[in-house]
Chains A and B, each alone.
Chain A
Amino acid sequence: MKKNKGMIILFLLPAVILFCLIFLYPIMRTLLMSFFKITGVTDSMDMWQFNGIGNYTKLFSTGLFVTSMTNLAKIWLFGGIIVLSISLLLAVILTSGVRGKKFFRAIIYLPNIVSAVALATMWLQYVYSPKFGLLKTFFTKLGLESLSKTQWLDNEHKFGALLIAYCFGMIGYHMLIWLSGIERISPELFEAATIDGANKPAQFRYMTLPLLKGVFKTNITMWSVSSVAFFLWSQLFSTVTADTKTITPMVYMYTKVFGAGNSVTEHDAGVGAAVGVILSVCVVIIFTLCNKFIKDDELEF
Chain B
Amino acid sequence: MAKVKRKKKMEPINWHKEAKLIPGYLILILWVIFTVVLLGWVIGASFSTTKEIYQGNALKFLSGFHFENYVKAWSGGNVSTFFLNSLEYSLISCVLLLLICAPAAYVLSRFTFLGNKIIQTSFVSSMGVPVIMIVLPLFSLISALGVLNNIFANKVLLIFLYVGINIPYTTIFLLTFFANISRTYEEAAAIDGCPPMKTFWKIMFPMAQSGLVTVTIFNFINIWNEYFLSLIFANSDKLKPVAVGLYGMINSMKYTGDWAGMFAAVVIVFLPTFILYIFLSEKIIGGVTGGIKG
Which residues of A are in contact with B by a Cβ distance under 8 Å? 3-4, 7-8, 10-12, 14-16, 18-19, 21-27, 29-30, 33, 41-43, 89-90, 93-94, 96-99, 102, 104-111, 113-119, 121-123, 125-127, 131-132, 134, 137, 173, 176-177, 179-180, 218, 221-222, 225, 228-229, 231-232, 235-236, 249-250, 253, 257-258, 269, 272-273, 275-277, 279-280, 283, 287, 301
Query: Which of A4, A22, A108 makes the CB contact (< 8 A) with B196?
Result: A4
Residue pair B119, A30 in contact (C-beta under 8 Å):
no
Does B106 make an interface contact (CB < 8 A)? yes
Q: A3-B195, A42-B143, A96-B24 are contacts. A279–B122 as well, Cβ < 8 Å?
A: no
Q: Is B185 an interface residue (CB 8 A)?
A: no
Q: Which of B101, B130, B140, B221 has the most CB of A within 10 A?
A: B130
Contacts of B224 in A (CB 8 A): 115
Q: Is the CB of A26 within 8 A of B136?
A: yes
Q: How far is the CB of A101 from chain B (nearest CB, A)?
A: 9
Report which of A43, A106, A232, A301 forms a contact with B227, defined as CB distance below 8 A.
A232
- B49 at the A/B interface (Cβ < 8 Å)? no
Q: Is A110 within 8 A of B35, CB to CB?
A: yes
- B 254-294 contacts with A by CB, 8 A: 259, 262-263, 266, 269-270, 273-274, 276-277, 281-282, 284-285, 288-289, 292-293
Give complex CA distance A108, B42 in Å: 18
Q: Are B132 and A107 in contact (CB under 8 A)?
A: no
Structural contact, A180 and B289, CB atoms closer than 8 A: yes
List 20 other contacts, CB 8 Å, given A93-B24, A107-B35.
A3-B195, A7-B107, A8-B111, A11-B103, A11-B107, A11-B197, A12-B104, A15-B104, A19-B168, A22-B164, A23-B164, A24-B122, A30-B134, A42-B143, A43-B140, A98-B25, A126-B42, A222-B292, A235-B247, A279-B132
Quote the shortest CB–CB distance from B85 to chain A (angstroms).
14
Type the 1/0 row for B199-233, where 1 means its CB is closer than 8 Å to any CB of A. Answer: 01000000000000000000001001101100010
Binds A, one of B50-58, B62-70, B72-80: B50-58
Tell me whether B270 and A115 are in contact (CB under 8 A): yes
CB distance from B9 to the nearest CB of A (A): 10
User: Which A residues lie within 8 Å of B54 (CB)?
Assistant: 131-132
Q: A14-B104, A18-B100 are in contact. Are A41 and B281 (CB under 8 A)?
A: no
Q: Provide the residues of chain A in CB contact with B163, threshold 8 Å.
A: 18
Task: Known A96-B21, A105-B285, A111-B35; judge A253-B132 contact (CB<8 A).
Answer: yes
The 8 Å CB contact of B130, one of A14, A116, A117, A283, is A283
Closest partner residue, chain A, to B251 (CB atom): A236
- Candidate in B132, B135, B163, B273 with the most chain A CB atoms within 10 angstroms: B132
Chain A residues with CB under 8 Å of B128's CB are: 221, 225, 283, 287
Assuming the A-B contacts A4-B111, A97-B21, are A30 and B35 also in contact, with contact meaning beta carbons closer than 8 angstroms in the complex?
no
Cβ of B239 within 8 Å of any chain A Cβ, yes or no, is: no
Say yes or no for B234: interface residue by CB 8 A criterion: no
Chain A CB within 8 A of B108 CB: yes
In this assembly, does B10 line the interface, its C-beta being within 8 Å of a C-beta of chain A?
Answer: no
Least CB distance, A179 to chain B, in whole angstroms? 7
A236 vs B250: C-alpha distance when bound (angstroms): 9
- In Å, the complex CA distance between A4 and B186 comes to 13
